[in-house]
Amino acid sequence: MAASDFSRLIAAAADTIAAHAEELTALDQAIGDGDHGLNMQRGFEAVRAEADAFAAKSLPDALTAVGTKLVMTVGGASGPLFGTLFMALGRELPPAPDRAALTAALGKAIEAVSARGKSQPGQKTMLDVLQPVYEALAQGKAGTEIAEAADRAADATVPMKALRGRASFLGERSIGHMDAGARSTALLVRAVAETVEGF
Amino acid sequence: MSNVGIVIVSHSPLVAEGTADMVRQMVGDEVPLAWCGGNGHGGLGTSVEAIMGAIDKAWSEAGVAILVDLGGAETNSEMAVEMIGEPRSHKIVVCNAPIVEGAVMAATEASGGASLKEVVATAHELSPS
């Protein structure tokens, strides 16, 4: 990936998080501690501020740098979880990945996020979006289809009962609300799918 | 200092500092002790950077036991340990114990020269398994 492409990717990710920050916070206020939008926006703006330096690195190093920056700036549990996602992608991806390499790396990254959060798909978390995205990637789906699958997967967290994170304290009362982390994951997936050529 | 160090990580700086006060009252200066709380932006939360700093401050070659409150404090503490990396990460344990009782009991055990394993076991006895 060319440096300019990685810069555009960062801008697209930061833009979509900023545009939806209030929505993410509202989702988190319903069943969490209400800081998800602000936290994610702070993190992605910090990444945006160093976009040029990150984009000058190889793709694996750039992703690792993004992950580390998110860990240090997002705060809350989302920092380590999204940070781990990017750091694991940085660890697993070759400098110029094809679809198969991307799919394999995302699979490993999902395992890393799962270990970090001690969580599995079905527990109303970001994993409930990442797993269908992985499956869509593996099936060779086009970018738009993958983005749609991510949106559907985020919607599908609404009837789930939260088993991890602050929302799990609410038990049955967490049912009926979309998970904020699932929503922000779907936003990021769409940003990537719409930015990367031939995704 | 050769005693195991204790790190207290709460979402609230007030809870973290208050817990540290209680530990100090119990064990004086016999145990390296550090605390952190808050998201680094004036709000409730935990910060990986602050946790890494607290681990440095309470560092002991005998190891460091971390006591946490809610889930994010645990996740961020585990991330901090991973980012500190080997070989020190092998001597840092995030305890599964109530933060106040765990910190006081762990520090009391540590003040007698107990190993990291013994300190952590003392804290874990407070948690229903």
CATH of the domain at B111: 3.40.50.510
Q: What ipTM does this complex have? A: 0.81
CA A88 to chain B, closest CA, distance in angstroms equals 13
| Tokens encoding A112 | 């890393």
Instruction: Tell me the count of A-B CB pairs closer than 8 A.
Output: 48
In a domain, B112, yes or no: yes
Give residue-wise pLDDT tens across range B37-80. 998 888 888 999 999 999 999 999 999 999 999 888 999 999 99
In a domain, B32, yes or no: yes
Does the pLDDT value for residue B35 go beyond 70?
Answer: yes
- Cβ distance A84 to B79 less than 8 Å, yes or no, reads yes
Residues of chain A with pLDDT below 50 are none
Distance of alpha carbon B97 from alpha carbon B106, whole angstroms: 10
In a domain, B129, yes or no: no
CA A102 to chain B, closest CA, distance in angstroms equals 24
Identify the bridge partners of residue A196 per DSSP, sorted by sequence position: none
Q: Which of A89, A155, A161 is nearest to A123 (CA)?
A: A161
Q: What letter does residue B88 receive in the DSSP assignment?
A: G
Chain B residues whose beta carbon lies within 8 Å of the beta carbon of residue A163: none
What pLDDT, on the 0 to 100 scale, is given for residue A40?
95
Residue B31: how many CB atoms within 10 A of its CB? 25
Q: Which of B70, B63, B111, B108 is nearest to B122 (CA)?
A: B108
Phi, psi for A65 (deg, rounded to 5) = -65, -40
What pLDDT, on the 0 to 100 scale, is given for residue A77?
85
> CATH code at A115?
1.25.40.340
Q: For chain A, what is the domain count?
A: 1
What pLDDT, on the 0 to 100 scale, is given for residue B70?
86
Give residue-wise pLDDT tens across range B110-121. 999 999 999 999
Q: For chain B, what is the domain count?
A: 1
| Helix A99-117 with A78-92: angle, nearest 10 deg | 150
In a domain, B23, yes or no: yes
Does the pLDDT value for residue B6 go beyond 90?
Answer: yes
Residue in chain A closest to B79 (alpha carbons) equals A80
Q: Which domain holds residue B47?
A: 5-124
Q: Which domain holds residue A62?
A: 3-195
